[in-house]
């Protein structure tokens, strides 16, 4: 290993709330984003890219709120090399003070120059320098990304890096925007940039990488870059992101930690014991389920079914486990609560789980806790987390589920009767109640069709997932559903109950309420087209 890769700290730049949220159907509301940001703070990442402020009022408010509440971590806002983008990002991250960062980007590859931008090399450099200088007028911490950097001619990429550093960029990020790179080639490109630009060697500027996973090589490319001079890695929890996703934070961090013999001298400040908790929270907030075989955080990551493996584990864990599960946050659940547990005990457990709740929210969650406690013997941390996250993901209820009855069987036509409530339009003390019934291909289908009839909406279910939150036959079932209401935007709904049909109805109704309420839950096609051209 060359001297340049010895004794260096790697900055972890988390873009779960920006690039990760761009995954179709993964849109989060303000409260969900804030809870994720708080968990990222506990995870101790170096930078949180909180959003793309100019893209919508919701994104702007999310970035500004996170910049106001999360302390001690750099908060970044994304912007194109356009004045209004840069000014919006500056205003959004302003509450972070010296911990604010503006991340500007502009495409540089030949295919983008000729077919997307229609601009020559000199014009690209002029626009990049102009954008960095405008950002520098707002903040000292400016990052520049040459979009599609991995497909940009190396000589031109060097010219771009030199120009933006001279203009004031303190970090230059090389994105593998379309996941085209392979490790040897990408590592060599980063090594060439590092060796050609003195500011990278002196530490005046940091070279960063942002790799996509289209060929399944995002983590491998990022690690190759680290060994060749990169000192910041952009990644997401669970590897979520556009298309096939981004480099997975947990895989990057644990590779460097587990193979410290190979990555000697490289360190990062991530608190690895918070990895599993972060993974679960992001999964629930985004509605993107983690595959069972996912490295580090999947349910099967430390499961051993082979008798030979089990025997080896019992004799010495390291025979078949290269990591201690507890190092990443796997471990025994705290003693479960019961229906006899009081409000104070629930409040303490909420705090232990890392959620920040006011008195009204604790009261609302305690009420739901008592309902669950009446249906099952023990309420585990996982059950409580599902209730908490259900509270966080709620939007103002246009409709609420009051009554559900289903009739089904292998020789019976499935029928569901549903009664919904909504606040009376005349603002009286009584809620309006509507009831209807419908047939379906199954009890869930019948219940959803009845909800459509009552709410006068027509949603098409594009994805349906149900998982057991905790153990036992009385386990809480958590349903995540993605629905298209005809505008092309996937709206995510979530619901939990010991009755999976009720959980399904609640999840669908949650999606209906999000659709009717609008806002962050319906950023739609217009936002999607503007987000397509990003690192």
Quick one: pLDDT at residue 59? 94
Query: Does the pLDDT of residue 283 top 60, yes or no?
Result: yes
Closest by alpha carbon to 502, among 372, 401, 414, 400? 401
Mean pLDDT of 307-313: 48
Same domain, 226 and 323: no
Same domain, 202 and 323: no
Quick one: pLDDT at residue 499? 92
- Which CATH number characterizes residue 489's domain? 3.30.160.270
Instruction: Please identify, among 286, 316, 349, the residue that sits at the C-terminal boundary of a domain.
Output: 286
Considering the chain, what is the average pLDDT of its residues? 88
Residue 125 near residue 115 (C-beta atoms within 8 A)? no
Is 530 domain-assigned?
no
Same domain, 264 and 236: yes
pLDDT tens column, 46-94: 999 999 999 999 999 999 999 999 999 999 999 999 999 999 999 999 9
Higher pLDDT, 116 or 353: 116
Q: Which domain does 304 fall in, by range?
A: 298-329
Same domain, 309 and 226: no
% of the chain at pLDDT higher than 90:
62
Same domain, 182 and 46: yes
pLDDT tens column, 170-197: 999 999 999 999 999 999 999 999 999 9
Number of domains in the chain: 3
Mean pLDDT of 370-393: 79
Work out the pLDDT band at 28, boundaries 50, 70, 90. confident
Same domain, 9 and 88: yes
Burial of 506 (0-12, 13-18, 19+ CB in 10 A): buried
Same domain, 411 and 501: yes
Same domain, 211 and 316: no
6 three-state secondary structure: coil
pLDDT tens column, 252-266: 999 999 999 999 999
Work out the pLDDT band at 155, boundaries 50, 70, 90. very high
Same domain, 417 and 272: no
pLDDT tens column, 193-233: 999 999 999 999 999 999 999 999 999 999 999 999 999 99
Quick one: pLDDT at residue 101? 98
Phi then psi for 246, rounded to 5 degrees? -115, 180
User: Residue for token digits 């219940």?
Assistant: 447
**Angle between the N-to-C axes of helices 183-196 and 154-167, in degrees from 0 to 180, rounded to the nearest 10:** 50
Is 315 domain-assigned?
yes
Same domain, 119 and 257: yes
Quick one: pLDDT at residue 521? 39
Quick one: pLDDT at residue 11? 98
Higher pLDDT, 434 or 383: 434
pTM, two decimal places:
0.83
Question: Residue 400 pairs with which residues in a beta bridge?
Answer: 421
Instruction: Please identify, among 257, 286, 315, the residue that sits at the C-terminal boundary of a domain.
Output: 286
In angstroms, rounded to a whole number, what is the distance separating the alpha carbons of residues 514 and 396?
8
């Amino acid at each position: 290993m060359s001297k340049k890769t010895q004794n260096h700290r790697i900055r972890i730049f988390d873009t779960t709330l920006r690039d990760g949220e761009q995954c179709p159907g993964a849109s989060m509301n303000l409260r969900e984003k804030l809870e994720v940001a708080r968990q990222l703070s506990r995870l101790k990442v170096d930078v949180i890219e909180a959003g793309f402020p100019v893209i919508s009022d919701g994104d702007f408010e999310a970035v500004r709120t996170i910049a106001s509440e999360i302390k001690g971590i750099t908060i970044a806002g994304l912007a194109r090399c356009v004045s209004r983008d840069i000014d919006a990002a500056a205003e959004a991250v302003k509450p972070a003070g010296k911990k604010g960062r503006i991340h500007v980007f502009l495409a540089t590859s030949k295919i983008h120059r000729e077919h997307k931008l229609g601009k020559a090399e000199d014009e690209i450099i002029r626009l990049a320098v102009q954008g960095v200088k405008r950002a520098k007028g707002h903040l000292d911490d400016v990052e520049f990304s040459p979009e599609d950097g991995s497909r940009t001619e190396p000589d031109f990429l060097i010219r771009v890096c030199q120009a933006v550093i001279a203009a004031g960029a303190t970090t230059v990020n090389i994105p593998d925007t379309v996941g085209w790179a392979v490790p040897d080639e990408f590592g060599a490109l980063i090594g060439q940039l590092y060796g050609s630009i003195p500011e990278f060697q002196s530490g005046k500027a940091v070279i960063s990488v942002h790799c996509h996973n289209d060929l399944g090589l995002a983590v491998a490319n990022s690690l190759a870059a680290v060994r060749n001079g990169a000192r910041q890695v952009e990644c997401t929890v669970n590897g979520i992101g556009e298309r096939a996703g981004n480099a997975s934070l947990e895989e990057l961090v644990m590779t460097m930690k587990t193979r410290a013999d190979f990555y000697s001298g490289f360190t990062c400040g991530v608190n690895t014991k918070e990895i599993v908790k972060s993974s679960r929270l992001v999964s629930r907030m985004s509605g993107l389920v983690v595959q069972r075989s996912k490295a580090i955080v999947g349910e099967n990551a430390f499961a051993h079914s082979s008798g030979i493996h089990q025997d080896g584990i019992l004799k010495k864990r390291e025979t078949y486990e290269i990591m201690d599960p507890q190092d990443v946050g796997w471990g025994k659940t705290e003693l479960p609560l019961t229906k006899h547990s009081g409000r104070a005990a629930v409040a303490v457990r909420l705090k232990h789980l890392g959620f920040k709740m006011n008195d009204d929210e604790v009261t609302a969650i305690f009420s739901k806790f008592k309902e669950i406690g009446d249906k099952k013997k023990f309420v585990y941390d996982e059950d409580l987390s599902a209730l908490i996250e259900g509270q966080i993901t709620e939007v103002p209820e246009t409709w609420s589920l009051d009554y559900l009855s289903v009739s089904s069987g292998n020789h019976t036509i499935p029928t569901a009767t549903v009664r919904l409530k909504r606040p009376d339009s005349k603002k009286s003390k009584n809620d309006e109640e509507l009831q209807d019934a419908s047939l379906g291909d199954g009890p869930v289908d019948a219940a959803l069709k009845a909800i459509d009839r009552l709410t006068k909406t027509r949603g098409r279910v594009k994805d349906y997932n149900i998982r057991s939150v905790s153990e036992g036959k009385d386990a809480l079932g958590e349903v995540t559903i993605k629905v298209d209401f005809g505008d092309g935007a996937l709206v995510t709904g979530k619901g939990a109950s010991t009755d999976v049909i009720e959980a399904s109805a609640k999840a669908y109704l949650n999606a209906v309420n999000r659709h009717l309420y609008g806002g962050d839950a319906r950023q739609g096609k217009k936002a999607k087209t503007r987000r397509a051209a990003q690192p």
